[in-house]
C-alpha cells in the first residue's frame, strides 16, 4: 500500500462521516439558499468563452443606482500592430431578472482575444474563434473519467466500492461494481448516469474523430462508454428489466449509503442496490445499449452483439406506457433499435408512440389566454404543463420534441413525418420563443403553471397562467439550479436548427449554454476550469473536477436568482451532476456538426 492509499484508507471513515453529516445538515435546512447573499457582482455580463465568428454577439450591463452608461468599447488584445478598437452604443432593455443595457457587436468576425469595457469596468477576456465551443468538449467529456467508480482514478482516488452491493430486498450480495459516481457524491443512479453514456455516444455520432481538436480520436470515447456500460449491463435482472440505482440507501434515506467503503464484501459498510424497475429507466437502458451496439459494430462485433441482445431482452420484457416523459424515452428506444437492427417493427412501434405524444401536446390555447401554446402535458391523466422538480435530468418539455426529431430523422418520408415536424415547430415557435424573449438573457423559464400551486411567487404570464424561471422552492425539499434544464433545451433547439435550417433556433440554443458559461446575473462561469468567477463546487468526495458543470443558478421563493459564491458548499446550486455535462456535449456537438 503506497502512502496515498494509506492516507486514503485511514481517512475514509472520518471523511465518510463528515460528508454524510454535511449533506444531512443541508437536507435538514428548510431553505439554505434563501440565506445566500449576492455579494459584489460585476455589472458586465457576457459569455466567458466567447463567440463564433458568424454568431450573434451580445454584451449586457446590469443597471445600478448611478447614471447608466451610454456606450461600450471593444478592444482586441495581443495584436502587435493594429489592434481592433471600437465604440458602440448601449440600448436599454426591459427584462425579467432585472432591466439591462444591451450592446451588439455581431459584425466583428476577426478571430482574436477581446475585452469589453463599460465605464470603469472590464469584462473577462474572451475569444472570437471558430473553435471556441469545440475546444471545451475534451474537458467536458473528460469529467466522466474523474467520476469512475470501481477502479483507481490517478490523482483522484484509489480503487473504490469493490464491494458494491447487496440487494435492498433480500440482502444478497450482487456484483454491480463499475460505472460512474452520480454527482458530488458516490451514488450510482441509473437514470442520471446513463445520460453520461448517451451524451458521449451523441458526441461521437455528431462529430466523429473530429470531436477533439487535439486529435485524440474516438478510442477515448469508446473506452469511457465501455466503463460506464460495465455497470449498466450488470444492473439487468434475469427477467430482462433493469434495476434503478446503487447506493441511494435503504428506503427513503438517500444518504445512508453515500460513503467510501472498505472494498470487502460482507462487511457492515456494504452498500445497497435498489431492485425497483422503473419504466423510464428501462427505455433509457434500451436507447443506450442500442446506440452502443451501433458504434461498436465494426470495432468490436462481439461486444456490439452483447449490448444489442441486452437491449432486445429489455424491450421484450416491458410494456411501453406511462407519462409523457416515459413515452418520449420509449420512442427514442424504438428509434435506436431500428437504427441498430433495421427491423421495421421497431420503427412502427416508435411511430405509434409518436402518435401518443402528438395527442399529449396542448395545441390549443389554455388558461384564458392566447399568448402561448404547444407545451406537452405531464401525461394522459395529468393535464398540467410538463415540468418536474425531482427528475429534471430526464424530464423536461424538450424530451418529447427530441423524440419527434429523432423519428423525423430516421423516417423523413413517413406519412406522419409532417405532423412530427409541425409539433416541434409549434412547441418552439409558440412556447419556447415567446417565453425566452421575456428576459434579456434569453433563457427558457423553468415552468408554466396554472395560478400559484405553492406559496412561492409565480410571475403573471397571461390569463390564468403563471411562470417561474427557477424551480419552486416550496414545492418539495429537492430543488436545484437549472443548468440541466437549459442544456436539454439547447439539445432540442440545436436539433431543430439543423432540421429546419433556422438561425433563430441555433442562436437561442447558444444562449442557453452562454448562461452556463457566464452570461448570467452573477457573471460566473459554472464549468470548472473555464472562464472566471467559478463558484467552488459541492464536491466533498473528490474536490475540483476539470470540466465539471454545477447545478447552476437557482431561485428563491420570489423567483430571484441565487448562487453560492461564498464557499458554503451549497448542493442546490454548486453540486456537480453528470446530466449537465451529458446535455452540454450533446448540444455543442449538434451545433458544431458539419
- The string of pLDDT tens digits covering residues 50-100 is 999 999 999 999 988 788 999 999 999 987 788 899 999 999 999 999 989
Task: For residue 292, tell me if it sits in a domain.
Answer: no
CA-nearest of 533, 553, 582 to 183 is 582
Q: Inform me whether the pLDDT recorded for 524 exceeds 50.
A: yes
Query: What secondary structure does DSSP assign to 521-556, as a single string?
Result: TT----BTTSSSSPPPPB-TTT---TT-BB---EE-
Phi, psi angles (nearest 5°) of residue 528:
-65, 130
Total structural domains in the chain? 1
Judge whether 58 lies within some domain.
yes
Is 277 contained in some domain? no
**Residue 68: inside a domain:** yes
Buried b (16+ CB within 10 A) or exposed e, 143-156: bbbbbbbbbebeee
Spatial contact of 43 and 118, defined as CB atoms under 8 Å apart: yes
Confidence of residue 5 (pLDDT cuts 50, 70, 90): very low
DSSP-derived letter for residue 258 is: -
Task: Supply the CATH number for residue 56's domain.
Answer: 2.60.40.10
* Domain membership flag for residue 376: no
- Name the β-bridge partners of 462: 465
What pLDDT does residue 65 have? 72
Residue listed under C-alpha cell 450591463: 61
Does 15 have pLDDT greater than 70? no
Q: Is residue 227 part of a domain?
A: no
**Residue 106 lies in domain:** 50-128
Q: What is the pLDDT of residue 477?
A: 80
Q: What is the pLDDT of residues 209-258, one digit of tens each?
A: 999 999 999 999 999 999 999 999 999 999 999 999 999 988 766 789 99
Residue located via cell numbers 448601449: 90
Alpha-carbon distance of 52 to 49, in angstroms, equals 10
Give the Å distances, CA to CA, from 138 to 209, 530, 566, 571.
Answer: 12, 12, 29, 25
Query: Is residue 119 in a domain?
Result: yes
Asked if residue 77 belongs to a domain, the reply is: yes
pLDDT digits (tens, 9 = 90+) for 291-343: 999 999 999 999 999 999 999 999 999 999 999 999 999 999 999 999 999 99
Region 175-189 average pLDDT: 97
Give the residue with greater pLDDT, 20 vs 354. Answer: 354
pTM here? 0.93
Amino acid at each position: 500500500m503506497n502512502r496515498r492509499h494509506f492516507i486514503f484508507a485511514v481517512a475514509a471513515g472520518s471523511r465518510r462521516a463528515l460528508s454524510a453529516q454535511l449533506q444531512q445538515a443541508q437536507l435538514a435546512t428548510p431553505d439554505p439558499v434563501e440565506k445566500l447573499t449576492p455579494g459584489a457582482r460585476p455589472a458586465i455580463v457576457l459569455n466567458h468563452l466567447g463567440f463564433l465568428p458568424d454568431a450573434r454577439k451580445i454584451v449586457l450591463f446590469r443597471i445600478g443606482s448611478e447614471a447608466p452608461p451610454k456606450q461600450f468599447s471593444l478592444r482586441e488584445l495581443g495584436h502587435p500592430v493594429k489592434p481592433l478598437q471600437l465604440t458602440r452604443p448601449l440600448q436599454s432593455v426591459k427584462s425579467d431578472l432585472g432591466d439591462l443595457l444591451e450592446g451588439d457587436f455581431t459584425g466583428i468576425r476577426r478571430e482574436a482575444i477581446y475585452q469589453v469595457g463599460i465605464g470603469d469596468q472590464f469584462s473577462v477576456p474572451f475569444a472570437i474563434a471558430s473553435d471556441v465551443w469545440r475546444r471545451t468538449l475534451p474537458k467536458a467529456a473528460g469529467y466522466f473519467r474523474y467520476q469512475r467508480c470501481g477502479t483507481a482514478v490517478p490523482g483522484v482516488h484509489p480503487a473504490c466500492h469493490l464491494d458494491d452491493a447487496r440487494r435492498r430486498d433480500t440482502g444478497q450480495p450482487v456484483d454491480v461494481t463499475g460505472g460512474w459516481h452520480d454527482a458530488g457524491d458516490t451514488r450510482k443512479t441509473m437514470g442520471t448516469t446513463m445520460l453520461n453514456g448517451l451524451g458521449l455516444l451523441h458526441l461521437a455520432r455528431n462529430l466523429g474523430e473530429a470531436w477533439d481538436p487535439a486529435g485524440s480520436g474516438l478510442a477515448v470515447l469508446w473506452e469511457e462508454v465501455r466503463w460506464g456500460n460495465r455497470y449498466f449491463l450488470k444492473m439487468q435482472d434475469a427477467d430482462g428489466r433493469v434495476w434503478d440505482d446503487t447506493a441511494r440507501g435503504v428506503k427513503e434515506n438517500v444518504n445512508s449509503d453515500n460513503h467510501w467503503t472498505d472494498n470487502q464484501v460482507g462487511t457492515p459498510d456494504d452498500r445497497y442496490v435498489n431492485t425497483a424497475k422503473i419504466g423510464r429507466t428501462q427505455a433509457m437502458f434500451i436507447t443506450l445499449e442500442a446506440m452502443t451496439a451501433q458504434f461498436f459494430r465494426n470495432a468490436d462485433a462481439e461486444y456490439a452483439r452483447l449490448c444489442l441482445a441486452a437491449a432486445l431482452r429489455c424491450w421484450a420484457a416491458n410494456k411501453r406506457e406511462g407519462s409523457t416523459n416515459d413515452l418520449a424515452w420509449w420512442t427514442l428506444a424504438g428509434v435506436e433499435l431500428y437504427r441498430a437492427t433495421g427491423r421495421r417493427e421497431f420503427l412502427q412501434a416508435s411511430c405509434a408512440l409518436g402518435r401518443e405524444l402528438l395527442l399529449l401536446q396542448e395545441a390549443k390555447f389554455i388558461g384564458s389566454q392566447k399568448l402561448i401554446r404547444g407545451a406537452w402535458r405531464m401525461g394522459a391523466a395529468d393535464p398540467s404543463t410538463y415540468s418536474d422538480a425531482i427528475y429534471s435530468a430526464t424530464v423536461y418539455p424538450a424530451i418529447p420534441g427530441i423524440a419527434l426529431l429523432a423519428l423525423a430523422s430516421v423516417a423523413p418520408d413517413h406519412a406522419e413525418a409532417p405532423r412530427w415536424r409541425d409539433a416541434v415547430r409549434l412547441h418552439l415557435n409558440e412556447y419556447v420563443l415567446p417565453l425566452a424573449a421575456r428576459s434579456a438573457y434569453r433563457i427558457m423559464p423553468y415552468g408554466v403553471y396554472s395560478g400559484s400551486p405553492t406559496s412561492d411567487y409565480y410571475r403573471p404570464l397571461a390569463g390564468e397562467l403563471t411562470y417561474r424561471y427557477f424551480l419552486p422552492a416550496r414545492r418539495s425539499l429537492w430543488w436545484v439550479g437549472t443548468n440541466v434544464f437549459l442544456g436539454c433545451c439547447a439539445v432540442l433547439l440545436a436539433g431543430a436548427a439543423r432540421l429546419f435550417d433556422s438561425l433563430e433556433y441555433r442562436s437561442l440554443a447558444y444562449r442557453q449554454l452562454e448562461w452556463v458559461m457566464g452570461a448570467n446575473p452573477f457573471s460566473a462561469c459554472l464549468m470548472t476550469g473555464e472562464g472566471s468567477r467559478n463558484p467552488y463546487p459541492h464536491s466533498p468526495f473528490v474536490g475540483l473536477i476539470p470540466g465539471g458543470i454545477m447545478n447552476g443558478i437557482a431561485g428563491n421563493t420570489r423567483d430571484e436568482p441565487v448562487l453560492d459564491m461564498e464557499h458554503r458548499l451549497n448542493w442546490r446550486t454548486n453540486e456537480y451532476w453528470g446530466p449537465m455535462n451529458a446535455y452540454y456535449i450533446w448540444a455543442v456537438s449538434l451545433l458544431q456538426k458539419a
